[in-house]
A and B are shown apart, each in its own frame.
Chain A
């Protein structure tokens, strides 16, 4: 009896007890709302995009966890990098990620984002996504089934509710020089505008 809504609800309540000790009531409420309204940018880079329609539609119905697809990065909280990523695609992915408003999270879906997968010796795919962007959750497999993706979302919910300072978007601000150096090394002269101009006036 570990499936269905009631045990899921039970698990949420159990976690609430552990989180309560470190967060104020307001923080807990905000984190709870965040974790239960994850808007995913409707964007697929590789073959993993094939697994997303069944995840979102009636059979697996991830909307019961508050996960909805949105059409523009400005409204999105979560970017799923779904599979292999060529340098040309990565430029678009970075652009999309930088346009998203914070807090924002990245899920790396499939082996290709982790270590290149079956494209480990390809001249046109990147091997480590977290060199270029801060990844919050990896879902491995080739391809991961929708159940695996849902598991990834559940783990990400836990992470969001813990409201850690290790979250990817904070990493991307504080360690921007590291990510930028890797991007410049890969793209050469065709690099994006600098992201840090977006948060120049912010008190970090």
Chain B
């Protein structure tokens, strides 16, 4: 199965069991179709996204697995961060539908042909998607939630541990000195 891949694509050997290859957005569907037809990589096991905010791009990772679960192949596809949509894989792999729905919610990536891109885990979310790196989690939490005040005897844990250790040490030394 590797011979076909090495013949037709620039395969990157990451580890003995993990391979990667770069595809563009336009090549993706065609490449996936060719690979699932000609090799034993026939299952989509993961769909990941990495936010490279400095380079203004998302890197999507389509992880394919063979039936023995012995080898993995990752198709990497870079897209621009703002308002770029991907073709949906829902017709090729049924499980892609829910993975795309999650990426849509967490990163705001659109998927053409996926009918289920509505609220998933976050209901009524009206901020920027929370997994994008420009999202300030702490500011959001401070604006939306109340924190419980600390206890009245709110002690500094590190200081207290130091004090207790010092007290235990002096208690140990005193009887031996006397």
What is the minimal beta-carbon distance from B78 to any residue of chain A, in angstroms? Answer: 27
CA distance A121 to B122 in the complex (A): 16
- Size range of the interface on A? 20 to 34
Q: Which residues of B contact A156 (CB under 8 A)?
A: none
Indicate which residue in B130, B140, B145 contacts A127 across the interface (CB closer than 8 Å). Answer: B145
* CA distance in complex: A86, B126 (Å): 16
Chain B residues with CB below 8 A from A86, complex form: 121
Determine if A127 and B138 form an interchain contact, defined as CB atoms under 8 angstroms apart: no
Q: Is the CB of B124 within 8 A of A188?
A: yes
Q: Which of A16-24, A36-44, A48-56, A112-120 sits within the interface?
A: A112-120
In angstroms, Cα B144 to Cα A127, docked, is 10
Q: How many A-B residue pairs have CB under 8 A?
A: 47
B137 touches which one: A123, A131, A188 (CB < 8 A)? A123
A126 within 8 A of B: yes
Residues B145 and A126 in contact, CB atoms below 8 Å apart: yes
How far is B145's CA from A187's CA once the two chains are assembled, in angstroms? 11
Interface residues on B, range: 10 to 19
Q: Write out the residue numbers on chain A whose beta carbons fall within 8 Å of the beta carbon of B146.
A: 127-128, 131
Q: CA–CA, A124 to B144, complex, Å?
A: 10
- Least Cβ–Cβ distance between A132 and chain B, in angstroms: 11
Interface secondary structure of A, over-half rule: loop
Q: Residue of B at shortest CB range from A87?
A: B123
Interface set, chain B 25-81, CB cutoff 8 A to A: none
Question: Are B148's CB and A190's CB within 8 A?
Answer: no
Q: Which of A88, A116, A186 contacts B121 (CB 8 A)?
A: A88
CB pair B123 A186 closer than 8 Å:
no
Residues A122 and B123 in contact, CB atoms below 8 Å apart: no
Q: A123–B140 contact, CB under 8 A?
A: yes
Structural contact, A120 and B147, CB atoms closer than 8 A? yes
**Contact flag A121-B138 (CB < 8 Å), given A88-B123, A188-B124, A190-B124:** yes
Residue A189 is within 8 A (CB to CB) of chain B in the complex: yes
Q: In the complex the two chains form, what is the Cα distance from A189 to B130 in whole Å?
A: 20
Closest 7 CB pairs of A and B: A115-B148, A190-B124, A127-B145, A88-B123, A123-B140, A123-B130, A128-B148
6 additional contacts (CB under 8 A) given A86-B121, A116-B148: A114-B148, A116-B145, A123-B135, A123-B144, A127-B148, A128-B145
**Please, could you name 9 A-B residue pairs with CB atoms under 8 Å apart, sorted by A?**
A116-B147, A116-B148, A121-B137, A121-B138, A121-B141, A123-B130, A123-B140, A128-B148, A186-B145
